[in-house]
Structures are given as structure tokens and as C-alpha cells.
Structure 1
């Protein structure tokens, strides 16, 4: 590992490094890591256009499978700019709380997009027109996980207002494998407002591990093909509580 940058911003402990091994793959990778060694983005330096991590690949499939002619996407949480870069031919707006993360994406990961607003994603989304978006993606983290203000009933009411009638919200979340109380609560909260929900998870070996999940909600049926979900499999979640502010 060769560390290129290390700092503590107001929001995160930040580290950028190059490595020849990422998870089980050999290659030449550049990684952005937040607090607790949480990988927030990775670039294949040999093939910069490639989407390395599984969850954005799965999200792209869900977008293209459910609305192949979609045009507008709002993303809360920028990271290295993987999704905005892939969606550069679409109408994309991004909210990022930490200005330093945006600068890192430009300096170390060659992010060239311009439509990124620095500020609280919930407040910025509230300012958008009603019914403006085909997809809203929540991919924001602090050291404690997804901020509560981005998983509550009041927030999801804002999301629903900003989505088109057939639009979809997708969340990238982490929780304990098996019966995670917070993940169950996020799912239950989504069920309060949306007709259809689905949960997908990357398989892990034990229930003590942290598991990456994608939660999806819409008022229209949600389609997917397992072979295009980058290893994510559908998962049934338990009943949880409804999250308020």
C-alpha cells in the first residue's frame, strides 16, 4: 500500500492510497477510505472507466432495468464520483456534505463533473422541483453509518415528492448480517410510504460481519435480473420500527 493523502476533515478521517490488491482481486487500484477503514470508492488505474465496487454496478443495473429511458438522477453522497461519472450523459445533480471529499475526487480520481453542490443533502434536495427525478440515490456515510436525517419518515416524504410517479429511491447501507435492527427499521420506514420495496445484500460468511445492502423503494413494481446484480442477492428483512427525526 502507498498512502497518497491522509487528513481528518470536519466529517471524516480521510485516506487515499494505491494498492495492488483490493479484497480478493489483484491489480492496480486507488482507494478512498473513510473512518474505520471503510472503503468509499475505488478506481482501477489500468481501466479507469470500469466500475470496481459491486454496489454501484448493481444500482446501474436497477436503473437501466426499470427505466431504460431515464434521464434525471439525484445523488446524495459523492465519494470519488463513480456514479456521476458513469451517468455523465444524464441529467445528474449531486449533494456532498464534505467539500474535501469533492476536492479529493478531482485531485486523485480525475473527477471532471461540475454539478456538485456542497451542503446537507436533505436541505439541498428539498430545494429541487417536485416530480423532477427518475432516481434518487442515497450513498452518504459518517463514522456512525448512514445519517439518521437521511433514513427517516420526513426525509422519505421529501424523496417521494421529488420523484416522478414511477420513480425509485435506492439506498446503499451497511449493517450486521442477519437480523440488523437499523436496516430492518429503514426498510419498514420505506414501506410506510412506498407500495413496493426490495432488499439486496452481498453474501457474507458469518452473521457477525458487516453486510452491504441496497434498499430500493418505488410505487411501481421493481424488476431486476440476478446475474446483473454484481453478486447482490435478494434478501427478506424482518419487521422494524418507523424512524422519525
Structure 2
């Protein structure tokens, strides 16, 4: 992908390390990514664990797109656990990409490609049809407007296979949060689920036909096949919250139908 952002100045993130973790920050008040030093492939922040709940709705993807590298938590986890998945990561900030070795993001190989580029351009221009698209693109000012416009979400749907799924990390306190929710619902004809993370700062949007046709059922929580027991123990509370939100949404829809 051509580099379309040479004219911009990018803020350099910094790394904060303590005895057990290493974190990427743009400001001391906001953590962009955090890694457990002894378990570098684990997902340490709850919103990332919640995003992986797409495995409840769709099969392990053959081709996955990611917008936003950060400390590489999701890219590492998927590369490690989803052995049959090819992953294309687009990150606009070159200073973030420069830190990939510090966060033990594996080098590019046949299954992982990290490229510098604009996420909005990526979904608009890609010729591939993605099985899953993870959007976690934040900068020092929060959610870039280019990654939460109606055109962007429309392009996300167009970049997916018919049965593909968008998973987007939204900032719950954003002043236009409700507008972002409405745009996703419009782009996906209402086939969307919104789940708050356990830390109450992020909301994860799942959008796509897999919500209605997928394997997730209220009251049923099974370990997805690609995950080992330790990963499942880490992810299960977040996945249970997603299943609970799905149950609440379906119950509400049924109640409106019965009136």
C-alpha cells in the first residue's frame, strides 16, 4: 500500500515498563497497549479480549484485516493462536511500527504483514474480501474522524465477505459515540451488537450477518477450537459478557415483536 501520510507529523509514543508489564502510551493518562512480560502473547487489556469474541460468531478467518497496530497485542494473539489465518495490519504512525520489536511482534512472514498506511484508504482500496476486520485505530487525540465516518463504515462492509464481520473498538466517552453507533448500524442494516468492556472505557462493536447466523447462542458458552485452555481461561469472562449482551438484545427484539 502506498504511504499516503508523509505530509503529517506523527506523535511519538513512549514505553512504560514495570516489573510485570510493558505499556505503550501517547500520554501518561491513556494506555494504548499493554503486554505481560512473562506472557507476551496474552491479551492484557479487557477490550482486546472482548474484541476476540468474534470467534463466537464466525469461523476462524482465512484472511483478517487489522487497522491499528499499537503494541501488537491482537496481531500477536491471532498470529499465535489462529494458525490458519493470514493477517494484514495497517498502521499509519511510523513511530508505532518502530516499536514492534519491543513488544515482541513477530517479523512479517507468510501469515503476517504489517504495513504503514491509512486505514480508511485500506478498506476503500483493498481488492481482497476479508473474513474479519478489526478496527482499533487511535492516535494521541483519540478516534481519528476518518475511522468513524459513515463512508468509512460503509467501506468496511464493502471490504468484507458477505458473511464477514467488523469488530471495532469505540471510545465510550467520545462526544459523538451515539452517532458512531448509528453509523455502524446503518452500514450493516442494523445487524450489530455493542458490548462494553470490563474496564468501562471502551465499547466493542460487532457487525455482520454472523450475529444472527453464527454459533453463539444465549446461555451457551463453548471454547472456540483454536484456543488453548490458558487462553480460554483468560478470555471466558469477556466472552460471557458478549453472550449476555446478545441474549439481552435478542430478548429485547423478541419483546418488541410480541407486542
* Contact persistence 2:47–2:198 (CA under 8 A): no
SS in 2 for 1:229: helix
1:41 aligns with 2:36: no
Separation of aligned partners in 2, 1:112 and 1:220: 30
Q: Please, which runs of 5 or more residues in structure 1 have no aligned partner? A: 1-8, 21-27, 205-209, 238-245
1:97 aligns with 2:97: no
The CA RMSD measured in Å over matched residues stands at: 2.6
1:124 maps to which residue? Answer: 122
Write the deviation string for residues 27-75 of structure 1: whole angstroms up to 9, x where unpaired. x11111113521111111122222111122122222x211233211100
* Contact persistence 2:25–2:33 (CA under 8 A): yes
Larger RCO (CA within 8 A; separation ≥ 6)? 2
* Contact persistence 2:51–2:169 (CA under 8 A): no
2:208 maps to which residue? Answer: 218
| Matching residue within 152, 165, 182 for 2:176 | 182
Normalising to structure 2: TM-score of the pair? Answer: 0.73
Matches within 5 A, 1:26-105: 28-35=20-27, 37-62=29-54, 64-88=55-79, 89=83, 90-105=85-100
Counting matched residue pairs gives 211
- Which structure has more strand as a fraction of its residues? 1
- Which structure has more helix as a fraction of its residues? 2
